[in-house]
């Protein structure tokens, strides 16, 4: 009997250690993946989040219709596209996508404001192109450095050199940006998700 007790105790301890190992393995594996091997899960967003978000301070803006805009675009989400020079093919494609995205939001359409800001005067041909985009706020010949510097992001070229799109929330925070060559259905998914989760705008 005396020989069996130590042997039984030994196997009890082995079983206990095995149970502890099974219980702790997900935590240990996660810690190793994150801090040792630096394996990090990809974001569920298509756009690139700006962390931390940047609170915007809007200068006075004037639309092509002569309307003055102060302190942003109201309590709405805003999708912006800048052009540092004449709006080229990719720029026009993204303007078209922005219009489609807003339309496809359905009942949430009015929660999104599309904005196009050009650093140069618009040609008559470009004005004719934009005539089909009545729900856009269009601003031309704007070279206000106070505006552009707020949209500059580390590692990216001058604002407006590419047809990137920027998303601003209803609290006037710059929170996400998209590459000029983008998948508009994925941008739409992002905006739908944000609007569903948000209680504002």
Indicate if 75 and 116 belong to the same structural domain: yes
Spatial CB neighbours of 186, under 8 Å, sequence gap ≥ 6: 46
Indicate if 185 and 122 belong to the same structural domain: yes
Q: Is the pTM of this model over 0.85?
A: no
- Count other Cβ atoms within 10 Å, centred on residue 106: 7
Model pLDDT, residue 108: 95
Indicate if 86 and 130 belong to the same structural domain: yes
Indicate if 63 and 162 belong to the same structural domain: yes
Indicate if 127 and 173 belong to the same structural domain: yes
Q: Report the distance separating Cα 135 and Cα 53, nearest Å.
A: 26
Indicate if 192 and 100 belong to the same structural domain: yes
Indicate if 83 and 151 belong to the same structural domain: yes
Average pLDDT for 191-198: 90
The count of domains in the chain is: 2
Q: Report the distance separating Cα 95 and Cα 116, nearest Å.
A: 8
Indicate if 54 and 31 belong to the same structural domain: no
Cis peptide upstream of residue 52 (ω within 30 degrees of 0) = yes
Average pLDDT for 13-36: 58
Percentage of residues in the chain having pLDDT higher than 90: 57
Indicate if 53 and 146 belong to the same structural domain: yes
Domain that holds residue 17: 1-41
User: Does residue 138 carry a pLDDT above 60?
Assistant: yes
Indicate if 104 and 74 belong to the same structural domain: yes
Give the mean pLDDT of the chain: 84
**What CATH number did the domain enclosing 124 receive?**
3.40.30.10
Indicate if 116 and 79 belong to the same structural domain: yes
Weakest-pLDDT range from 5-14, 108-117, 121-130: 5-14
pLDDT tens for each residue of 28-41: 554 444 445 544 44
Model pLDDT, residue 39: 47
């Amino acid at each position: 009997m005396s020989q069996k007790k130590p042997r039984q105790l030994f196997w009890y301890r082995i079983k206990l250690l095995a149970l502890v190992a099974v219980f702790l393995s997900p935590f240990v594996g996660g810690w190793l993946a994150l801090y040792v091997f630096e394996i990090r899960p990809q974001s569920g967003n298509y756009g690139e989040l700006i962390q931390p978000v940047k609170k915007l301070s809007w200068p006075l803006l004037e639309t092509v219709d002569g309307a003055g805009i102060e302190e942003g675009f109201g309590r709405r989400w805003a999708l912006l596209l800048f052009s540092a020079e004449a709006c080229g093919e990719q720029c026009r494609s993204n303007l078209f996508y922005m219009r489609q995205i807003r339309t496809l939001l359905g009942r949430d359409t009015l929660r999104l404001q599309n904005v196009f800001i050009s650093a140069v005067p618009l040609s008559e041909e470009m004005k004719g192109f934009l005539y089909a985009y009545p729900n856009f706020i269009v601003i031309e010949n704007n070279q206000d450095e106070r505006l552009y510097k707020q949209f500059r992001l580390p590692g990216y070229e001058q604002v407006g050199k590419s047809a990137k799109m920027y998303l601003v929330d209803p609290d006037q925070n710059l929170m996400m940006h998209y590459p000029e060559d983008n998948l508009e259905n994925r941008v739409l998914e992002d905006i739908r998700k944000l609007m569903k989760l948000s209680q504002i705008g």
